[in-house]
Amino acid sequence: MELPFAESYKIKMVESLKRSTRQQREQWIKEAGYNLFNLKSDYVFIDLLTDSGTGAMSDKQWAAMMEGDESYAGARSYYNLKESIKNITGFDYFLPTHQGRAAENVLFSSLVKEGDILPGNSHFDTTKGHIEFRRAVAIDCTIDEAKDTTLEMPFKGNMDLGKLENVLKQYPAEKIPCIVLTITNNTAGGQPVSMENIKGVAALAKRYGIKLLFDSARFAENAYFIKTREEGYAGKSIPEICREMFSHADFMTMSSKKDAIVNMGGFIAFREEAAWQACQMYNIMYEGFITYGGMSGRDMSALAQGLIEGTDFDYLETRISQVAYLASKLDEYGIPYQRPAGGHAIFVDAKKILTRVPKEQFVAQTLGIELYIEGGVRGVEIGTLLADRDPVTRENRYPSLELLRLAIPRRVYTNNHMDYIAAALKNVFDRRESITSGYLIKKELPIMRHFTVELEKA
């Protein structure tokens, strides 16, 4: 008999989960202003809000924490991390930051000025926020195919090279501080970017004399997809593929809370010394001295180890297989989602399910609330709430996709939990025709409103 697939790790420590009743959940979500971010985590049974900072650290990472060096300057932990980053990315220079958006803040403080243009493949919301906050413009050049959730494509996160070149032709080089390539493409569904596409983007960047930035939060998952889906890469190791990917970039921002499997942390890495130096002042002002920048020594040590574990093939296979397993359950129940399954999450196609909820009433958010009430499962809306208002007209922006993201934390849940999630979603799916109205905004912030918005029933 062929041996079945099994996880590449075993469990050493556990955390209890709290069950609740439907009635309790109805009350709690109402009190939370129908915003899943406002719920106490104790009110959640399975938390798929994000895969960011929610992973389980390994015994080796906890051991590394005990060896953390808390020196203000020149800590051993900093040098451990520097070596880990160099081995995996090839970059010689780096600045630690407390998380990914802090890396964006520091880098963009040095690079981006009012009126600048930053083309990319679906900038993440904090990235877009940091660009628009500086009165610059993020232009989305993702391939159109990413908008069709039914289309099966190996690299649906790719940049459309034609769209990108149009932007590069239209604006002078000094107005474009960098191109932002997000690997994997979170917003488009955790979809990977092929090496071929990376090379194409890099060639255009070079031709037009523009720097290339990788938003690298899930770079290892991207490398796994290149290895398993792209011709010519099956025989290469994940670290080899990572180094090849990064060889095309000038700098990278990293939210270490994702593929480096730590609960907090980030960094910026640079090829050129001058770019690193230009950011130092901002790092010191916003984050901390250049050898700790927002991270304690122990956190840098855990991160150095996490980068090694996060690029281990067996670990990545376990992780991506779990996401694919959840997808296979949804297939069984006929529930539509962004195909193929992404690296870190399933993006359920809310618009195809709640066809009777008007788009002004936040379709994906409505599905998220129903799933929470059904089974205590917390996902997150990637739709109109997240898209914010147009910075000029202040009108709602209606993205072409209304998705409910079910992000799977790393090394946390078992496949029994996946079965539970799928069953809860199936129950909502089965009563979809009875859901005819959504929610209206009571209170919102001018930027990144989805985190704190308060809603009421329409």
186 belongs to the binding site for ligand F0G (CB under 6 A): yes
Q: Determine which residue in the list 35, 142, 182, 296 makes contact with ligand F0G, applying CB under 6 A.
A: 182
Per CB under 6 A, 410 contacts ligand F0G: no
Residue 241 C-beta: closest distance to ligand F0G, Å: 19
What 3-state class would DSSP assign to 185?
strand
DSSP states along 308-339: HHHT-HHHHHHHHHHHHHHHHHHHHHT--BSS
| Of the residues 100, 129, 200, 438, which one makes contact with ligand F0G according to CB under 6 A | 100
Between CA 418 and CA 183 the distance in angstroms is: 25
Q: Tokens at residue 205, please?
A: 């960047």
Q: Strands, E, within 240-313: which ranges? A: 251-255, 266-270
CB 365, min distance to ligand F0G, A:
15
x/- letters, 7..46, toward ligand F0G (CB under 6 A): ----------------------------------------
How far is 233 from 323, CA to CA, in rounded Å? 22
Select the span of 120-128, 192-200, 332-340, 446-454 touching ligand F0G (CB under 6 A).
120-128
| Selected binder of ligand F0G within 93, 124, 246, 337 (CB under 6 A) | 124
Note whether 101 binds ligand F0G by CB under 6 A: yes
Q: Does the footprint of ligand F0G cover residue 217 (CB under 6 A)?
A: yes
* Nearest CA-CA partner of 50 in 16, 100, 9, 14: 100
Q: Which residue is nearest to ligand F0G (CB)?
A: 100
Which one-letter DSSP state was computed for residue 169?
H
Which of 260, 259, 253 minimizes the C-alpha distance to 287? 253
* CA proximity to 241, closest of 259, 228, 229, 223: 223
Based on CB atoms, which residue is closest to ligand F0G, 216 or 361?
216
- Residue closer to ligand F0G by CB (options 171, 372) is 372
Active site residues: 72, 124-125, 215, 217, 258, 450
* Phi, psi of 274, rounded to the nearest 5 degrees: -65, -40
Is the distance from CB of 89 to CB of 252 less than 8 angstroms?
Answer: yes
Q: Single out the residue of 47, 116, 160, 215 in contact with ligand F0G (rule: CB under 6 A).
A: 215
Q: Any contact of residue 55 with ligand F0G (CB under 6 A)? A: no
Could you tell me which stretch among 10-18, 34-42, 93-101, 285-293 binds ligand F0G (CB under 6 A)? 93-101
Q: How far is the CB of 157 from ligand F0G (least distance, A)?
A: 10
CA torsion sign for 349, 350, 354, 355 is negative
DSSP summary character for residue 125: H
- When binding is defined by CB under 6 A, the residue of 50, 77, 109, 322 that contacts ligand F0G is 50
DSSP state of 44: -
Size of the site for ligand F0G (CB under 6 A): 15
Residue number with CB closer to ligand F0G (47 or 361): 47
Give the nearest distance from C-beta 384 to ligand F0G in angstroms. 17
Q: Does 266 bind ligand F0G (CB under 6 A)?
A: yes
Torsions phi, psi for 172 (to 5 deg): -65, 150
CB of 260 to ligand F0G, least distance (A): 10
Q: Does 52 bind ligand F0G (CB under 6 A)?
A: yes
Q: Considering the rule CB under 6 A, would residue 99 count as an interface residue with ligand F0G?
A: yes
Place of tokens 């610059």: 136
Binding mask 218-257 for ligand F0G (x = CB under 6 A): -------------------------------------x-x
Strand 137-140 to 117-120 pairing: parallel
Q: What's the rounded Cα separation, in Å, for the pair 304 and 100?
A: 16
Which residue, 361 or 388, has its beta carbon nearer to ligand F0G? Answer: 388
Nearer to ligand F0G, 211 or 344 (CB): 344
> Residue 354 Cβ, how far from ligand F0G at the closest point, in Å?
22
Residue-wise DSSP of 404-422: EEEE--TTT--HHHHHHHH
Q: 22 is written with which tokens?
A: 């439907």
Interface with ligand F0G (CB under 6 A), residue from 77, 84, 105, 126: 126
53, 55, 60, 64: CA torsion to nearest 10: 10
Give the CB-side neighbour count of residue 425, counting CA atoms within 13 A: 34
C-beta of 189: minimal distance to ligand F0G in Å? 12
Contact 248/195 with Cβ under 8 angstroms? Answer: no
Sign of CA dihedral 67, 300, 225, 202: negative
With CB under 6 A as the contact rule, which of the stretches 124-132, 147-155, 305-313, 391-399 interacts with ligand F0G? 124-132
Which stretches of the chain bind ligand F0G, using CB under 6 A?
50, 52, 99-101, 124, 126-127, 182, 186, 215, 217, 255, 257, 266
